[in-house]
Structure 1
Amino acid sequence: MGIAVLVLFNLFLWGGAPRPVLAQDPPEENARCLTCHSNPDLQIQFADGSTLSAHVSGSRYQSSVHGQEAMTCGGCHPDHQQYPHPEVGAADHRAYTLKLNETCLECHPDQAERVQDSNHAHALAQGNTNAAVCVDCHGAHDTVSLAEARVKIATTCRKCHTGIYDEYSQSAHGKALREENNTDVPTCVDCHGVHTMEDPHTARFRLFSPNLCARCHADKALMSKYGISTEVFETYVADFHGTTVLLFEKQAPDAATNKAVCYDCH
């Protein structure tokens, strides 16, 4: 079915004039939207002439966390609850994404507050419009549960951090996750945080980094599963390097030190 036919069909469906979507059960409202948006050829055109597919897979959305919560399309697209829809005023795809991203903040205020102090938010505030926002990491119509997302975290981060992913994927941690699907091993967010990621190049991050490693390597129950002794961490904090690093962390967290931390050697 061509786009023109879909438009004519919807003019018939809506009586030819803009009308608000009536309050109804979410599946019925979403089914009405899918009358057009199930068409794989449907596109949005932006002011700069670029286009974006407006196709939505009903089955993928239904299996997403939003679909399972019976969220309606209008919950995230309140400006498009009338037909014909208003014109998209965004200059390009990225401007459209950044504007739509504001919708996420309405339902997820706690995460929105935490992310404001993150490296991504700082980059965005400084004018880097390519800095990651909610939908870049979580998707839009195919958002998965946190349990499902864990094995996909590293490949999600790879979309921006390709070189770092390549290094991680060849590490003991990365290989265990990639080849064995072992979710015990740390992935990106275990060391860098989820919504509160900070700059890993600062003295503060470096001094705190042994504590990140300790989350796993000081856990006797976890380490015993893999025949790894927790003495690795215990001996580090007891020697000159570890004692100095921990002292700096407590007394001068922003001061640089040349004493070795875990990742200098490993």
Structure 2
Amino acid sequence: MTMDLPSGEKLPIYVDTAVFAKSVHGEMLRCADCHSDKNGYPHNSKPFKNRRDVTVAYYEQCKACHFANYTKTLDGVHFAVLAKGNQKAALCVDCHGSHDITRPTEPRARISATCAGCHQKESDVYVKSVHGKALAEQNQDVPVCTDCHRAHDIADPRDGKLSMRTPEVCGRCHTNEKLMAKYGLSTHVVDSYLSDFHGMSASLQRKTKGGPKGMVAAVCTDCHGVHDILSAKDPTSHTVKANLVQTCRKCHPGANENFPSAWLSHYQPSWNKASLVYGVQLFYKFLIPFILGSLAIQIVIHLWRVVVNR
């Protein structure tokens, strides 16, 4: 069963009851719960020019049950694009489907496949990354699109706000001790970043009035990549030693071959790594308390003598 639209497109109006029964709504909703405007037969016709007009017309039907998620979409980039008159912006049914809605994480790889419908170029890059390759092997630990971009209130990556949240986003997984131990990765990457020049600068800029505009401090994605993140052991990785100077030159055009050596990466100083830095830190850990303690003792002795002499 189909309807002919003025655009020449055919609108399918057949619904497979077996498919709908297996959907998340199969045991809860009836047709009229969503199609509440259909209250007689034959149905009143509507001036739809094309299939997209139909989708947009029923866009807000989901609001009745999913109001919290609906309101989040109002703050997202997709709604902002739609509000400007671009009907190609993703709506609820574009991501979730209509009569065949299932849980989005079953399987988890379905999320990235859904986003690829509009963002094919980014998807092609992602599938070659360390996260994308692991996802293809059914690894449930790696992030998919919505883990970084969120699901309903997706931010526009061009306004800088997403970049400012990068350490927080990456830190959700990379500070998880149990998860990182599984892959032999350090959980100090965020701490080490926030304690160096880049992290401190980014934190200060985040607090300044005016937000992330004019951002100059590097965040995780500036060094590791965005959708093309690779293992640190991969010879084509942005952060492997042979390529690191080129990565630094994106912000520091005059960087020479020795420039990356001034950075400890995410390593914690130790006798095995940056022993001189570790030694200086250790020296000051004892020197500063000794000096402060000596000054405190001197003040106490001086006050005692003043009191006694009085």
Q: Which band: TM-score by shorter chain?
A: 0.7 to 0.9
Q: Which amino acid aligns with 1:61?
A: F
Q: Which residue is equivalent to 1:55? A: 14
1:136 aligns with 2:94: yes
Q: Which residue is equivalent to 1:15? A: none
CA 1:149 to 1:85, structure 2 compared with 1: closer, same or farther past 3 Å?
Answer: farther
| TM superposition shift of 1:166 | 0.7
Q: Which residue is equivalent to 1:64? A: 23
Match among 125, 140, 150 for residue 83 of structure 2: 125
Match among 152, 165, 169 for residue 212 of structure 1: 169
Q: Which residue is equivalent to 1:103? A: 61
Q: Which amino acid aligns with 1:236?
A: Y
Q: Which residue is equivalent to 1:246? A: 203
Inter-partner Cα distance in structure 2 for 1:136 and 1:121: 13
Q: Which amino acid aligns with 1:205?
A: L
Match among 43, 47, 52 for residue 89 of structure 1: 47
CA 1:204 to 1:226, structure 2 compared with 1: closer, same or farther past 3 Å?
Answer: same
Contact 1:47–1:89 (CA under 8 A) maintained in structure 2: no
Deviation digits for residues 214-240 of structure 1 (CA, Å, limit 9, x no counterpart): 111111122112111112222111111
- Structure whose alpha-carbon radius of gyration is higher: 2
Inter-partner Cα distance in structure 2 for 1:102 and 1:191: 26
| TM superposition shift of 1:81 | 4.1
| TM superposition shift of 1:143 | 0.5
CA 1:126 to 1:149, structure 2 compared with 1: closer, same or farther past 3 Å?
Answer: farther
CA 1:147 to 1:50, structure 2 compared with 1: closer, same or farther past 3 Å?
Answer: closer
Question: What TM-score do you get using the length of structure 2 for normalisation?
Answer: 0.68
Deviation digits for residues 109-164 of structure 1 (CA, Å, limit 9, x no counterpart): 11111111110000000011100110000000110024415321101001111101
Question: What TM-score do you get using the length of structure 1 for normalisation?
Answer: 0.79
Match among 119, 124, 148 for residue 191 of structure 1: 148
CA RMSD of aligned residues (A): 1.5
Q: Which residue is equivalent to 1:232? A: 189
Contact 2:155–2:161 (CA under 8 A) maintained in structure 1: no
Q: Which amino acid aligns with 2:179?
A: L
Inter-partner Cα distance in structure 2 for 1:240 and 1:262: 13
Contact 2:202–2:217 (CA under 8 A) maintained in structure 1: yes
Deviation digits for residues 45-85 of structure 1 (CA, Å, limit 9, x no counterpart): 2233321222222111111001132x111111123343222
Moved beyond 4 Å, runs of 4+: none
Alignment length (residue pairs): 223
Q: Which residue is equivalent to 2:115? A: 157
Q: Which amino acid aligns with 1:210?
A: P
Inter-partner Cα distance in structure 1 for 2:140 and 2:46: 41
Inter-partner Cα distance in structure 2 for 1:128 and 1:72: 31
Contact 1:204–1:249 (CA under 8 A) maintained in structure 2: no
- Structure number with higher helix proportion: 1
Contact 2:109–2:135 (CA under 8 A) maintained in structure 1: yes
Gap runs ≥5 in structure 1:
1-41
Contact 1:208–1:249 (CA under 8 A) maintained in structure 2: no
Contact 1:217–1:223 (CA under 8 A) maintained in structure 2: yes
Inter-partner Cα distance in structure 1 for 2:18 and 2:39: 21
Inter-partner Cα distance in structure 1 for 2:215 and 2:6: 51
Q: Which residue is equivalent to 1:9? A: none
Inter-partner Cα distance in structure 2 for 1:104 and 1:232: 40
Q: Which residue is equivalent to 2:220? A: 262
Q: Which amino acid aligns with 1:248?
A: Q
Match among 134, 146, 149 for residue 176 of structure 1: 134
Inter-partner Cα distance in structure 2 for 1:141 and 1:92: 19
